[in-house]
Structure 1
Amino acid sequence: MSAAPSDQLVELRHGERRVLLAPAVGGAIAAFDETHGERVIDWLRPATPAALAARDPLGMASFPLLPYCNRIRDARFVFDGALVDLSGDGNGFAHALHGNAWRLPWRVGDTSKSRARLHLRHEPSREAAHHWPFAYEATQDIALDADALAVTMSARNLSDRPMPFGMGHHPYYPRTRNTRIHARVAAMWHSTPDLLPTHAGPHACVDAMASVEGMSADAFDLDNNFAGWSRAATIAWPDEGRSIMLDAETPFDHLVVYAPASHPGLLCVEPVSNVADWINLDVDRAMKGGAVLQPGESVSARFAWTTCVERGVAERVRDA
């Protein structure tokens, strides 16, 4: 198929499963659902028409994080002996947040019924939402099949100097009072009130997520990074007889769980390659993640959401 204009939604289908992409809204996924009889199951929280009209990435189902994940303290860091100041990049936050790819339009490349490729090329600029003093290009290869939605993220440093780098994705899941989270992590990063990490250590949620029952999404007030992730997590709705498993390749070795008590409808379980403010943290790289790409160097990694609806549930839905 020919490339679609980037300001249009791109629909992928496989049987009764559907994905909507919003290239103009930071290369985001706008919806991932499937139909059983008259019931539509939302595997990710779908974007509303208002969020799409406003081109609000925070209102999407999931959006890419490049060239770093989460926050950078005071939007500043020193790299290779030079100060990098991101305070004027138009992000609207006290600390630089999630890079710039989520606030830029992506271009649609090759597409088919169940696959699409999205492209982004960034050149250094002082314009709002564009300032990152390193040139890079990125792609998302998004594929839908009978079991999973897979995303392969790739990036290449186009600068003539090394570039600090991190990547991830920021999915929102439907959150109910019965939602459970299953994951194995080594430690939780404790943080300041403005969500900058201080130290990694134990927390009751680490044990809760590793338990057979999993952790209730309402059990803790969380907006935290986790180190030593096994690169697999499951979000389950046992009362609905369904679950979705997130699995990832390295360097998605870190996890973010966002389950705020103040917003009981929000739940994020995010695969990321670096913890917040990694570039300013003086700790071992294995604990904080992040990377440095040399000129011309590339990185690529895949993650996927595999869905499961219990057979009895699917049959009841079809027969309803």
Structure 2
Amino acid sequence: MAGNVIRLERNALAVDVSPLGGAILSAHWHGISILAPTRSPGLASQVLGAEACFPLVPFGNRIEGNSFRFGEMDYTLTSNTADPLILHGDGWLQRWTIARHEPDGIVFNCRHEASGASPFAYEATETISLDDDRLTLSLSVINRAAETLPYGLGFHPYFPRTPATRLFTQALRYWPERENHLPGTAGPIPDDLDFSTGAALPDRWLNNAFDGWNGQARIEWPETGIALSVTADEAFRHFVLYSPSASDNFFCFEPMSHRPNAHRDQDGGGLVALPSHAQLRGTMTLRPKRNGTYQTHSSADKRTPGDGHRC
């Protein structure tokens, strides 16, 4: 559909974006994929078949029982996908408007009104900009409701997973997964999920939350000779790591301002109580570089969209 796919370019970076869900559809550096187009329930996937990253607003992940209590009020939400629990907020399921468009950048806006399905009324802005070997994603939300409400932000990128992929990152705590893909009780990080000195992803189902993140990560793909640094500002000190298995061609490393199911945590889990017209914002930057032997048109880059809807 005309207008649903917009190409951004700067030097060696080429990024396709869409107003459908404010999504990034693909991202290449020197012709090599640094994001993995994957099927999801998002609007871009519904129309175009896949997406490689989408914004999480006004929260990420799930809310247990599709309900929460804030202050003296009880709020109920309606499931928004085939999942029984409301998933990833509203932004990824709406068409965003284009506020500004340049060859190497774009600004999307999204307004959402409160309804019986959700108490959140807000205006979100997503800025996608390319610099020399750098892709920067910024997301902000303004509470347009009359009352103070808890808000969160995040990004949901899909990264290529190859047999030799290695992840480097640090966190303080981890949550195992329990029923309905919700976090269990926090505990120490298991040995096979300790990426502080770099490690391969374990060959098993992964869908876990981490907090105390230092805002830095590095992904290495020896097959393509590419390494990607992921940096986030102070707004993002949590992340979710999702990977169905080693045989899937993607994994997700999702920077978030809050923990999954934070609406049900007494401490707020990182959510920010925004008074009417107050704003929350966060930024994530991806920087690819050459890392060892560079192979053009490697088999690892010949991908078909996977199915990444569980995280």
Q: Does the TM-score normalized on the shorter chain lie above 0.5?
A: yes
SS of 1:54's equivalent?
A: helix
Task: Output the amino acid matched with 2:25.
Answer: A
C-alpha distance in 1 between matches for 2:190 and 2:277: 43
1:182 aligns with 2:163: no
The answer to whether the 8 A contact 1:245-1:305 is kept is yes
1:107 aligns with 2:97: yes
Match of 1:46 in 2: 37
1:18 aligns with 2:14: yes
- 1:202-241 equivalence runs, <5 A: 202-205=188-191, 208-211=194-197, 214-241=198-225
Deviation track 1:107-151 (CA, whole Å, cap 9, x = no partner) reads: 11111110110000111134xxxx321310010111011221001
RMSD: 2.3
Which of 267, 273, 279 lines up with 1:292 in the alignment? 273
Task: Output the amino acid matched with 2:19.
Answer: P
Deviation track 1:200-248 (CA, whole Å, cap 9, x = no partner) reads: 111324763012xx12123443101001001111111124321111100
Task: Output the amino acid matched with 1:191.
Answer: E
Offset at residue 34 of structure 1 (A)? 2.5
Which of 261, 286, 290 lines up with 1:305 in the alignment? 286
The structure-2 alpha-carbon separation of the partners of 1:52 and 1:96, relative to structure 1 and needing over 3 Å to count, comes to closer
1:201 aligns with 2:193: no
Match of 1:157 in 2: 143
The answer to whether the 8 A contact 1:200-1:227 is kept is no
Task: Output the amino acid matched with 1:245.
Answer: S
Number of matched pairs: 294
Deviation track 1:23-61 (CA, whole Å, cap 9, x = no partner) reads: 12x1100011023xxxx200001368xx9573268x310
Which of 91, 94, 99 lines up with 2:81 in the alignment? 91
The answer to whether the 8 A contact 1:278-1:290 is kept is yes
Which of 56, 80, 101 lines up with 1:65 in the alignment? 56
Task: Output the amino acid matched with 2:199.
Answer: M
Percent of aligned positions that are identical:
29
SS of 1:105's equivalent?
A: coil
SS of 2:95's equivalent?
A: coil
C-alpha distance in 2 between matches for 1:45 and 1:194: 25
The structure-2 alpha-carbon separation of the partners of 1:56 and 1:223, relative to structure 1 and needing over 3 Å to count, comes to farther
SS of 2:65's equivalent?
A: helix
Offset at residue 253 of structure 1 (A)? 0.6
SS of 1:209's equivalent?
A: coil
C-alpha distance in 2 between matches for 1:123 and 1:177: 44
Task: Output the amino acid matched with 1:152.
Answer: S
C-alpha distance in 2 between matches for 1:180 and 1:18: 24
1:256 aligns with 2:237: no
Task: Output the amino acid matched with 1:204.
Answer: P
- Range 253-262 or range 154-163, more displaced: 253-262
Deviation track 1:245-289 (CA, whole Å, cap 9, x = no partner) reads: 11001211101100223863230011101111101023x45xx21
C-alpha distance in 2 between matches for 1:235 and 1:210: 12
Match of 2:27 in 1: 32
Which of 137, 140, 144 lines up with 2:130 in the alignment? 144
Higher radius of gyration, 1 or 2: 1
Match of 1:9 in 2: 5
Offset at residue 152 of structure 1 (A)? 1.1
C-alpha distance in 2 between matches for 1:193 and 1:74: 12
Match of 2:309 in 1: none
Deviation track 1:80-109 (CA, whole Å, cap 9, x = no partner) reads: 22221112x533211111111111110111
C-alpha distance in 2 between matches for 1:62 and 1:9: 14
Match of 1:116 in 2: 106
Normalising by structure 2, report the TM-score. Answer: 0.87
The answer to whether the 8 A contact 2:23-2:44 is kept is no
C-alpha distance in 2 between matches for 1:53 and 1:178: 28
